[in-house]
Amino acid sequence: MLQILYDWTLTHGIKIICIIFIAFFVIKISNKIIEKTIRKAVKSEKGAKDNSAEKKREDTLIRVFNGIFIIIVWMIALLTILPEFAINVGPILAGAGVLGVALGFGAQYVVRDFLAGLFIILENQYRIGDVVCLDDVCGGVEDITLRKTVLRDLDGALYHIPNGSFKKASNLTRGYSRAHMNISVSYKEDIDKVINLINEVGKNMAKDSLWKDDIINPIQVLGSGPNDFGTNGMEIKVLGETKPSKQWDILKEFRKRLKVAFDKKGIEIPFPQISIWTKKK
């Protein structure tokens, strides 16, 4: 028995040890290559001060690709080792194919979510901290995994959305944001004076030390006249560009300043009114 074991070790055991050693070596080298490649390929956005979200994205991609490669290497190593024990791998491969088909039907939604999550991370569609709308659900992104995206809306509700379940993703805070709104003024107002006043308020706000760092382009009237004739007054469209996710705070401040400016100039902001006449008997 010892002689048989000795002979088997010399003929098969050494080969198995070499296969295992090569598998470990290939995995170790591939891990470094994958990490270096992804760190180099994934570039952070220009001007970004906080790269923590970008690093988390890189770490996720590295973990995913390393995990896939490790599974592939060990499967190849196992299929190479089994014949050394006089095991025919043909039936195993056939059974694995049938099992794979069965699992594919049963776990198709999970696979879909993981593939969709991989593309979301690869394409950098949105990151933690962005404000997005996934179909009809909007909120701030609190976490992204390969399987799901976690959003929190203004009411504090937390949504766990599988990555393969939505068809449309809208990023409201990527690169820059736009501050836009419609301003309604009475038909009796001088439209040119109103436009000049609105533009002046937007320019002054962009020069304010408290707001200038968040404003890329000041809020200005879009075009040279009213955007529409409303039921109660003329609708004027204004538009400006801000840093990501700053548009809502800037619009609130702009509305406050505009109300003060309109009051000083006596410009009327129309609102629905009802006139009642009493009939004398």
Q: Which CATH number fits domain 124-171: 3.40.50.720, 3.30.830.10, 2.40.33.10, 2.30.30.60?
A: 2.30.30.60
2-40+50-106: what fold? Helix Hairpins (1.10.287)
- What's the CA gap between 247 and 218, in Å, rounded? 11
**Does residue 41 register a pLDDT over 80?**
no
The residue ranking higher by pLDDT, 255 or 39, is: 255
Please tell me which residue, 154 or 252, carries the higher pLDDT value: 252
| CA distances, 243 to each of 44, 124, 170, 247 (Å) | 16, 18, 17, 7
Over residues 185-214, the pLDDT tens digits come to 999 999 999 999 999 999 999 999 999 999
pLDDT of residue 98: 66
User: Which one is predicted more confidently, 176 or 44?
Assistant: 176
Average pLDDT over residues 150-164: 93
Span 70-98, pLDDT tens digits: 988 998 888 888 887 877 777 766 776 76
CATH architecture of the domain with range 177-265: 2-Layer Sandwich (3.30)
Distance CA 151, CA 187 (A): 43
Residue with tokens 């994934």: 42
Per-residue pLDDT at 119 exceeds 80: yes
Angle at alpha carbon of residue 167, lines to 164 and 173, rounded to 5°:
100
Amino acid (one-letter) located at 226: P
Give the Cα separation of 56 and 175 in Å (integer): 19
Instruction: List C-alpha distances in Å: 173 to 3, 25, 45, 152, 279.
Output: 72, 44, 13, 15, 57
User: What pLDDT is attached to residue 203?
Assistant: 95
Of 26-30, 60-64, 253-257, least confident by mean pLDDT is 60-64
- 132 phi and psi angles, rounded to 5 deg: -130, 160
pLDDT of residue 252: 95
Tens digit of each residue's pLDDT (9 = 90 or more) over 121-144: 888 888 888 899 999 999 999 988
Place of tokens 């909120």: 139
pLDDT at residue 101 in the model? 65
Q: If you average pLDDT over every residue of the chain, what do you get?
A: 85
Cβ–Cβ under 8 Å, residues 185 and 233: yes
Q: Summarize pLDDT for 103-114 with one digit per residue, the tens.
A: 666 667 888 888
> How is the chain split into domains, by residue range?
2-40+50-106, 124-171, 177-265
Confidence of residue 53 (pLDDT cuts 50, 70, 90): low
Please say whether the beta carbons of 210 and 249 come within 8 A. no
pLDDT given for residue 29 in this prediction: 93
Q: What is the pLDDT of residue 13?
A: 80
CA-CA-CA-CA torsion sign (18, 19, 24, 27): positive
In the numeric block, which tokens belong to residue 131?
A: 């404000």
Cα 41 from Cα 61, distance rounded (Å): 11
Burial of 253 (0-12, 13-18, 19+ CB in 10 A): middle
Report pTM. 0.64
